[in-house]
DNA sequence: GATGAATGAGAATTCATTCAT
DNA sequence: TATGAATGAATTCTCATTCAT
């Protein structure tokens, strides 16, 4: 393999290793994943992996770290920029299928669930810095819309979780059954229906 | 260890091994789980496990087989026996927290997700014989209620999945973050709200 | 299994175990042979084997002990009773195929060769008490015939071994390739030819 | 252990492993031989063996493969190059003790006999490609000499086997009793006598 | 920096032997 | 006596990690 002398080349190789690790962990699980496979998939020798990561554990931790941040920031931006609750819900319904089908999110979800036991701290951080932050942003949105009388959602926390739930459901479904064409789901339709349901369920009752 | 000479004593031991396997697979994942630990947890020697199961794989498969059936039958019974759609939703909202907190369902879910790659057939069967069957039963309920004009749910399949989604969400959450008290969720409240949302979202629009 | 209360019943069971052991050791070798298989083949429970033999080793030793003696005595009798060297050779040529085809001798040979390393004493005894005794008897026969001028065999020891060699050859062949019909040999013809060769080779040269 | 980086160094290590395997299988038999012992005897670690051979079985098969070919070719060359039947027999008588005392042939013979049950195909191939080929070469020699009137050997096949028999006998004797000095045989004398016997036995009878 | 050969701890599985019934 | 469930030592093979080249 050519030597990665420049910083940029090093960064590329690091990224290739993380992508290879993601796919390998997804396909085999953390324990069954072989460093050798990850190395080969990244087009690098076994020994070279250790030039970039101290250990298999460190590789896993770096992987989660790396994948976590971008998504959450995008989601927060959507919620902050939406002019109304309805618009936010609409955008969420459009964004969710994309996330589940075009990004590595389902793979990440499966890895987090399947291998969480090895890295309690990583998992705990992920929950706090990503899931709770996402739910928190949703809660803010709900609370403000409720205050404006736009929706009727007295319990913002639980409501936020119910809004998010289909993403968890569809993501896991994708991750676990995704290879089986028989199990395919129409995600855009699912989330469009979900958005409609949410809007209707949160619609303030017209006063008599 | 005392010897299990009667069929009943053998059945008890088999059950103890399955319970030990469930807990060990849940805590460590299939690959990292040591047969020795499973044996010790069930109070028998390493070798004894092999008197009851041919291999670690066979133990896993027996475990899924064993845990799968009872739940689904209970759920189907609930749906069939409910006099109205509203009642069914109410019962579901009461049943879900129990399932998630008092049974091994979340552990099973985590194992299925985390170790699905090792047993594609087992996972595929589980989807067909359990998840799709549960969704199917819900669809029937929805279709009939829709026909009666009780609800407005033109797409029964996706609606069923949206009804089920919070169970997947809460189950995985429980399984992955359950040990962390900070992450606790009020499941009865969550499902009560979910039931209310569902009822409102599916309520037929009053004709003009 | 019925209990073997009488001495005769015990002896029968012991013999059944030895026969089962012979076949199992022959088929799998000492190390790979499972006590369970031997027991089952003898129609006895695993534990019962230990009522008759202290250990797998003891079973092996008893087996060799048991099978050794009868054959050698028969062979010695033949040689002692033959009126002439020619007759002895003729009888040997007739006896050898029978031994190789109708008795367990080839199985015994294979076991001795294949598992000799585990029991150096057993093997050493077998050589002394059986092989060397057989060769010794042949030597006596040769020496006496030579003294009578019936044959010309100055080196009785080596001659005896050369006479015996085809039995070793055919026995091992049988034991190793016997299952393969393609490898079959016409043993009666082989030994008839051997006898003829021996007679001709040992015929005293006519003095000029 | 120093690392074998060149192809040559790797070939050397492979050969060292095969030699270690031969000795270990000879001493303990296939089943009782420990991979660890083979590795240690070759001066490498347990894991290193698996860099050269996929499994214990593969190591065994490679061993037989490796040892089979050279001997047979040498023997065939001898028979083809001999100017007369008598010369061929003389050379055979000189060659046999060397093969039995200076090469690994007896060890190979013991392994083939003792562990034949594990590898029926290997054993079957060995018979066809080595033993039958050797016997075939001898048959050709006998048939041609018979046709020339040099010898009287109407049944070339059986005669060939009788010529070869003492090698089998002495080889097994060597392999099984070789460690015991008390059991030593004078192989050069044995084969010299055998050659003399063969020549005399096959000498055409003078016409009346 | 990069490689891949070597290491050795670790885990599944087998089976002789024991012993409660 | 007879059984067969239970034990645990032993053995094969894997793979993260190291380090000579």
- Protein-contacted bases of chain F (C-beta within 7 A): 1-21
Amino acid C5: pLDDT: 61
Min Cα–Cα distance to chain B from A180, Å: 8
Furthest C-alpha separation in chain B: 75
Q: Could you list the mean pLDDT of each consecutive 10-residue stretch along chain A, which spans 208 residues? A: 68 94 96 97 96 96 86 79 90 92 93 91 91 92 95 97 97 93 95 97 80
Residue D60 lies in a domain: no
Task: Verify that B79 and B170 share a domain, yes or no.
Answer: yes
pLDDT class for C3, splitting at 50, 70, 90?
A: low
Q: Residues of chain B with pLDDT > 70: what percent?
A: 98
Query: Which parts of A29-131 fold into alpha helices (H)?
Result: 35-41, 46-52, 56-81, 85-102, 105-115, 120-126
* SS3 at position A198: helix
pLDDT class for B131, splitting at 50, 70, 90?
A: very high
Chain C residues in contact with D125 (beta carbon < 8 A)? none
End-to-end CA distance of chain C: 75
Q: What's the CA C50/C1' E15 distance, rounded, in angstroms?
A: 15
What CATH number is associated with residue C21?
1.10.10.60
Residue A124 CA: distances (Å) to CA of A64, A121, B134, B173, B181? 12, 5, 32, 12, 11
For the stretch B160-204, pLDDT in tens is 999 999 999 999 999 999 888 999 999 999 999 999 999 999 999
Task: Verify that A41 and A109 share a domain, yes or no.
Answer: no
For chain C, what is the radius of gyration of the CA atoms?
A: 20
As a 3-state breakdown, chain C gives helix, strand, coil percent values, each rounded to 5, of: 80, 0, 20
CA torsion, points B53, B56, B57, B63, in degrees to nearest 10?
60
For the stretch B84-129, pLDDT in tens is 899 999 999 999 999 999 999 999 999 999 999 999 999 999 999 9
Residue D207 lies in a domain: no
C191 touching D (Cβ < 8 Å) = no
Q: Are C113 and D175 in contact (CB under 8 A)?
A: yes
Query: Which parts of chain D fold into alpha helices (H)?
Result: 7-28, 35-41, 46-52, 56-81, 85-102, 105-114, 120-126, 132-147, 156-177, 187-202
Residue B168 lies in a domain: yes
Task: Give the closest nucleotide to A46 (alpha carbon vs C1').
Answer: E4
Comparing CB atoms, the residue among C120, C158, C193 nearest residue D162 is: C193
Residue C76 lies in a domain: yes
d(CA D27, CA D21): 10
Q: Which of residues 44-73 of D touch strand F (CB under 7 A)?
A: 46-47, 50, 55-57
Task: Verify that A88 and A133 share a domain, yes or no.
Answer: yes
Q: What's the CA C134/C1' E5 distance, rounded, in angstroms?
A: 55
Amino acid A207: pLDDT: 58
D117/C158 Cβ within 8 A:
no
Nearest to B176 by CA among A109, A139, A65: A109
Residue D102 lies in a domain: yes
Q: Would you say residue D188 has pLDDT above 70?
A: yes
Is the CA virtual torsion D19, D20, D21, D27 positive or negative? positive
d(CA D174, CA D201): 27
Q: Are D124 and D130 in contact (CB under 8 A)?
A: no
Task: Verify that D73 and D176 share a domain, yes or no.
Answer: yes
Task: Verify that D75 and D44 share a domain, yes or no.
Answer: no
Q: Hey, which residues 32-71 in chain B have their CB within 8 Å of chain A?
A: 32
Q: Which range among A76-80, A195-199, B39-43, D35-39 shows the weakest confidence by mean pLDDT? A: A76-80
d(CA A140, CA C16): 84
Amino acid A2: pLDDT: 54
Q: Hey, which residues 158-187 in chain A have their CB within 8 Å of chain B?
A: 158-159, 161-162, 164-166, 168-170, 172-173, 175-177, 179-180, 183, 185-186
Residue D135 lies in a domain: yes
Instruction: Please classify residue A64 by burial: count the beta carbons closer than 10 Å to its beta carbon, then call 0-12 exposed, 13-18 middle and 19+ buried.
Output: buried
Task: Verify that A75 and A96 share a domain, yes or no.
Answer: yes
Q: Which long-range contacts (CB under 8 A, 24 or more apart) does D125-128 make?
A: D126/D64, D126/D68, D127/C176, D127/C177, D127/C180, D127/C183
B17 touching A (Cβ < 8 Å) = no
d(CA C193, CA A187): 86
d(CA B113, CA A29): 10
Task: Verify that C173 and C135 share a domain, yes or no.
Answer: yes
Range of the domain at D36: 1-53
Task: Verify that A171 and A197 share a domain, yes or no.
Answer: yes
Nearest to D96 by CA among D196, D200, D189: D189
Nucleic strand E under 7 Å from the C-beta of D200: no
For the stretch C139-155, pLDDT in tens is 999 999 999 999 999 99
d(CA A177, CA A154): 36
Task: Give the closest nucleotide to D2 (alpha carbon vs C1').
Answer: F20
Query: Which parts of D103-155 fold into alpha helices (H)?
Result: 105-114, 120-126, 132-147
Min Cα–Cα distance to chain D from C128, Å: 9
d(CA B126, CA A103): 26
> What is the DSSP-derived secondary structure letter of residue D186?
-
Q: Give the number of domains in chain A.
A: 2
d(CA D47, CA B117): 27
pLDDT class for D1, splitting at 50, 70, 90?
A: low
Nucleic strand F under 7 Å from the C-beta of D34: yes
Task: Give the closest nucleotide to D57 (alpha carbon vs C1').
Answer: F12
Nearest to B162 by CA among B141, B138, B145, B180: B138
Q: What's the CA D67/C1' E11 distance, rounded, in angstroms?
A: 35
A29 touching B (Cβ < 8 Å) = yes
Tokens of A198: 């949410």
Task: Verify that B30 and B69 share a domain, yes or no.
Answer: no
Residue A61 lies in a domain: no
C and B: touch, per 3+ CB pairs < 8 A? no
D170/C166 Cβ within 8 A:
no
Task: Verify that A8 and A70 share a domain, yes or no.
Answer: no
What CATH number is associated with residue D169?
1.10.357
Residue B208 lies in a domain: no
C and A: touch, per 3+ CB pairs < 8 A? no
Amino acid C78: pLDDT: 79
C197 touching D (Cβ < 8 Å) = yes
Which one of B34, B53, B72 terminates a domain? B53
Amino acid A205: pLDDT: 81
Task: Verify that C17 and C83 share a domain, yes or no.
Answer: no
Task: Verify that A74 and A12 share a domain, yes or no.
Answer: no
Q: Which of residues 13-52 of A touch strand E (CB under 7 A)?
A: 13, 44-48, 50-51
For the stretch D66-95, pLDDT in tens is 987 777 787 788 888 888 899 999 999 999
Q: Are C159 and C153 in contact (CB under 8 A)?
A: yes
- DSSP assignment string, A41-62: HTT--HHHHHHH-SSHHHHHHH
B201/A196 Cβ within 8 A:
yes
Nucleic strand F under 7 Å from the C-beta of B148: no
């Amino acid at each position: 393999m050519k030597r990665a002398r420049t910083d940029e080349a090093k960064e590329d190789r690091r990224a290739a290793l993380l992508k290879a690790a993601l796919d390998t962990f997804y396909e085999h699980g953390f324990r069954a994943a072989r460093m050798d496979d990850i190395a080969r998939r990244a087009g690098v020798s076994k020994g070279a992996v250790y030039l970039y990561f101290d250990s298999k554990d460190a590789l896993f931790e770096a992987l989660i770290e790396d994948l976590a941040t971008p998504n959450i920031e995008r989601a927060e931006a959507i919620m902050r920029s939406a002019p109304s609750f309805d618009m936010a819900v609409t955008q969420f319904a459009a964004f969710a299928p994309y996330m589940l089908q075009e990004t590595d999110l389902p793979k990440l979800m499966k890895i987090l669930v399947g291998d969480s036991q090895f890295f309690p701290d990583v998992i705990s951080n992920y929950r706090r810095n990503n899931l709770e932050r996402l739910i928190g942003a949703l809660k803010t949105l709900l609370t403000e819309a409720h205050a404006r009388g736009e929706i009727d959602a007295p319990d913002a926390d639980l409501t936020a979780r119910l809004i998010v739930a289909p993403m968890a459901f569809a993501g896991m479904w994708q991750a676990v059954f995704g290879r089986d064409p028989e199990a395919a789901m129409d995600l855009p339709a699912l989330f469009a229906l979900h958005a409609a349901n949410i809007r209707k369920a949160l619609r303030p009752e017209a006063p008599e």
